[in-house]
């Protein structure tokens, strides 16, 4: 199979957040494929729920031969191995040791009961777009038709002051 470039978002707000991110990056390298780029670490507030624990977020560019559903399975196993015990259901978010989201998978647009690519909320989340824009500013979102840098700038400009 020909390798596909995929982009992942990683976040942690429980335990040793930086260590959780480092372990996830190691597992991704071992189980998913070669990490081609990794953004800086970003400290952000929780999104979509109340918590006193801030997140560390990072974006990763990864070359993989896994199909989309296989990639989802492996990312969920990595989450479990790092200590994630609950999954988000009906947009009810919780603190977590690690969260790994598949943002983009090549230029694929996929909508199944178990997986939606591009990630359906990525264009609403500065904590996703800012790290992603650092490592993939010129990548075009397959549905929005705009570059990641443009999407990040639009979101930042739309933020109330």
Catalytic residue among 95, 99, 138, 153: 99
> Any bridge partners for residue 110, and if so which?
117
Catalytic residue among 22, 101, 125, 138: 101
Dist. CA 40–CA 132, nearest whole Å: 10
Dihedral over alpha carbons 33, 138, 129, 115 (to 10 degrees): -50
Dist. CA 96–CA 80, nearest whole Å: 11
Dist. CA 76–CA 42, nearest whole Å: 22
Residue 153 is a catalytic residue: no
Residue 107 is a catalytic residue: no
| Nearest by Cα to 65 from 104, 33, 26 | 33
Residue 22 is a catalytic residue: no
Residue 23 is a catalytic residue: no
Catalytic residue among 96, 111, 138, 153: 96
Catalytic residue among 17, 23, 84, 125: 84
Decide: residue 145, CB within 10 A, 0-12 exposed, 13-18 middle, 19+ buried. exposed
Which residues are catalytically annotated?
Answer: 84, 96, 99, 101
């Amino acid at each position: 199979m020909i390798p596909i470039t995929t982009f992942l978002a990683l976040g942690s707000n429980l335990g040793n957040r930086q260590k959780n991110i480092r372990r996830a990056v190691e597992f991704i390298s071992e189980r998913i494929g070669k990490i081609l780029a990794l953004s800086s670490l970003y400290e952000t507030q929780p999104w979509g729920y109340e918590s006193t624990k801030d997140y560390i977020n990072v974006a990763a560019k990864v070359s993989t031969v896994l199909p989309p559903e296989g990639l989802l399975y492996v990312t969920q196993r990595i989450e479990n191995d790092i200590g994630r015990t609950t999954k988000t259901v009906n947009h009810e978010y919780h603190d977590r040791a690690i969260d790994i989201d598949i943002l983009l998978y090549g230029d694929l647009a996929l909508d199944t009961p178990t997986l939606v690519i591009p990630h359906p909320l990525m264009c609403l989340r500065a904590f996703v777009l800012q790290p992603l824009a650092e490592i993939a500013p010129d990548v075009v979102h397959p549905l929005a038709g705009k570059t990641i840098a443009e999407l990040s700038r639009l979101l930042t400009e739309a933020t109330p002051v």
